[in-house]
Amino acid sequence: MFDPILAEIRFGTGLSPIHRPVQSADTMIARLKGPDVAAGDFGWTMFRNTRPSPDDLLDAGRAIRDAETEAAREEALAARREMYDRVGLLYRRGFKTSLLRAARAEDGFREALVDFWADHFTVLAKNAQHRHLVMGYIEEAIRPNVAGRFQDMLIAVVTNPLMLLYLDQSSSVGPNSPAGQRGGRGLNENLAREMLELHTVGVEAEYSQTDVRQLAELLTGLTAPSGDHFKFQRNRSEPGEEVVLGRTYGSGGEGFHNVVEALTDIATHPATARHISTKLARHFIADDPPEEVIAVMADAFRATNGDLAAVYEAMLRHDQAWTPERLKVKQPIEFMKSACRALGMGANDIASDRPGDLHPAFFSPLITMGQEWQKPNGPDGWPERSDFWVTPQFMAARISWSIYKVNTFMTHLEDPRDFVRTALGPNPPEDVVFAAGAAANIRDGIGVVLSSAAFQRR
C-alpha cells in the first residue's frame, strides 16, 4: 500500500524538512509528467553548450604548439590553464548542482530516476579534460527523457558524443565502406555489445555474437568528430543489409534512418521490457525483486511500447513495491544526497566552489565510501547489491562523514531530538530516538542518526 514516508525514502531522495511527503502515486506520476521544476531552479547547460568543449581544448593545445614567439607561447599556455581551471570548476559545480537538486527538489522521484538512468547508460570521461561534460550528457540525453519513451532515451544516448567516445563507436568504421576501404580501418563492437548486453535486451536474452557483429555494422557511421558533436558519416557506414535479432535493416540503402529503425525495434523488444523492468525493480525495491512486480511492469512496457511513465506507474501501484521492510541499502551518493536533504541543505551551506572545501567534505569521503563521483568501474555502472556497499571500510567512511564532516559544511544543525523525525519520519525506531537524545553534543547526535541502519536503508 502507498505510504507517503516510504514514497520519499524508497522512491525519492529522502525526507525533507521543507517539503511535505507526496500523498499519492497519482501525484508522483503527475509531477513526473509535468515540468522539470528542479532543472529550472538549479540550471545546467546541455552537452552541446558546455564550454570549454573538446574542440576548444584541442585548439588550445594547437595554439601552444603553433606559437612562434616565446611570449605567444606563454600566452597560449596561460589561456589553456584558464580553460582547465574552468573544467575543474564546472566539474565541482556539476556536483553541487546535483546535490542541491536532490536536497531541494519537490519531486524527489524525478531526481532518483535521473540517477538511475544515468547509471543505466553509464558514460565515463576517459580523461580529466572531459570530466565536466558528463553533467551535460545527463542533462541532454537522460533528464528530458526520464518520463518519456525508452526508445527516445536510447536514441538520445547513442547520438551523444560522450557515449560514442566512451564505448569506442567513434572509431568504428565499416570495413567495406569508402572510409574502411581507404584507411584499412575496421569495426569496433563495443557499443553494439554493451547496448544489447546492458542497455536493452540484457545478457540473458536470446542473442548471438552474429547479432552483436551485425549491430556493430549497422552502427557504423555514428561518430563524434573530435568529441564535440554528433554526426552520421555516411562514408563510414557499412554498405548492405544487416540482420539484428531476426529483423533486416538497410535494404533501402545507407542512412541514419536504419539506425533509428533498429534502435526503436530493440528498445521495444519484449526482452528489453523485461530487462528494464527488472533493473528498475532491483534498484528501487529489492536486490532480489518480487517476480510479480517485474511481470506487471514488463506488461506495461510492452503494452505501451516502452512508455516509461506507464512502467513506473505499474510499479508504484503494486502492493509489493511498498513492503514496510526496507530491503535496499542506499548507495553512498544516495546516502549523501538524502542526508543533505534531511539536513535541509541550501545553496548557502556549500557556497564555496573551491576544491579545498569540496574535496574533504564530499569528493574524498565518497571515494572512501567506494563511489567516486561519476567514476564507476565500467559501463555496467555501480553494483546494486547491499553486500557490496556494507563493508567495514565503506561503513567506516559513512560513519566518519556523518559525525565529522556534516558539521563542516552545514551552517546550522537542527536539534538531534527533532532531526530524528525529520530524517526518519514520524515513527522512528526507539533506539535511534534514544541515541539522538543521549549524544554528548549536537554534532554527534546528528551523526548517530545519519549512521543508523534505519537511515542507511530505503
Partner 1 sequence: MDRRDFLLRGTALGCTAAASPFVTPVALASAPWDNRLVVVILRGAMDGLDVVQPYGDAGLAGLRPDLPSGEAGGGMDLDGFFSMHASLGALSPLWRSGELGFVHAVSTPYRDKRSHFDGQDLLEAGIGGTSGIRDGWLNRMLQQVPGLEQEIAYAVGREQMLILSGDKLVSSWAPGTDLQLGTETQRLLELVQHDDPIFRAASTDAIRIAAEARDLGNLAGEAVGRGTSVDVARFAASRLLADTRIASFSINGWDTHNQQARGLRQPLEELANTILTLKSSLGDVWSKTAVVCMTEFGRTARQNGSGGTDHGTAGAMLLAGGAVRGGRVVTDWPGLGEADLYDRRDLMPTRDVRAHAGWMMRGLFGLPQGTIESAIFPGLEMGGDPGLLL
The answer to whether 64 contacts partner 1 (rule: CB under 8 A) is no
The answer to whether 324 contacts partner 1 (rule: CB under 8 A) is no
Q: What cell was used for 341?
A: 536533504
Q: What is the 3-state secondary structure (H, E, C) of 95-142?
A: HHHHHHHHHHCCCHHHHHHHHHHHHHCCCCCCCHHHHHHHHHHHHHHH
Greatest Cα pair distance in the chain: 75
Closest separation between CB of residue 243 and partner 1, Å?
A: 19
The answer to whether 77 contacts partner 1 (rule: CB under 8 A) is no
143-182 residues in contact with partner 1 (CB under 8 A) are: 167-168
String of contacts with partner 1 for each residue 100-129, x by CB under 8 A? --------------------------xx--
Q: How far apart are CA 280 and CA 202, in angstroms?
A: 13
First to last CA, the chain: 16
CA dihedral over 395, 400, 401, 403, signed as positive or negative: positive
Burial class (CB in 10 A: 0-12, 13-18, 19+), 128: exposed
Residues contacting 46, CB < 8 A, separation 6+: 136, 139, 140
Q: Which amino acid is at 215?
A: L
190-209 residues in contact with partner 1 (CB under 8 A) are: 190, 193-194, 197, 203-204
The answer to whether 454 contacts partner 1 (rule: CB under 8 A) is yes
Which of 188, 200, 258, 268 is in the footprint of partner 1 by CB under 8 A? 188
String of contacts with partner 1 for each residue 260-299, x by CB under 8 A? ---------------------------xx-----------
Residues contacting 299, CB < 8 A, separation 6+: 314
Closest separation between CB of residue 211 and partner 1, Å?
A: 11
Residue 2 or 394 with smaller CB distance to partner 1: 394
DSSP 279-315: HHHHHHT-SS--HHHHHHHHHHHHHTTSBHHHHHHHH
Q: Which region, judged by CB under 8 A, interacts with partner 1, from 149-157, 217-225, 241-249, 378-386? A: 378-386
Strand partners, 249: 242
Closest separation between CB of residue 403 and partner 1, Å?
A: 7
String of contacts with partner 1 for each residue 337-376, x by CB under 8 A? ------------------------------xx-x-x--x-
Helix H or strand E encompassing 345: none
Residue 278 or 304 with smaller CB distance to partner 1: 278
Closest separation between CB of residue 38 and partner 1, Å?
A: 30
The answer to whether 447 contacts partner 1 (rule: CB under 8 A) is yes
Length of the chain: 458
The upper half-sphere exposure of residue 151, i.e. CA atoms within 13 Å in the direction of its Cβ, equals 17
Interface residues toward partner 1, by CB under 8 A: 126-127, 167-168, 188-190, 193-194, 197, 203-204, 287-288, 329, 367-368, 370, 372, 375, 377-378, 380, 385-388, 390-397, 399-400, 403-404, 429, 431-432, 434-435, 438-440, 444, 447-449, 451-454, 456-457
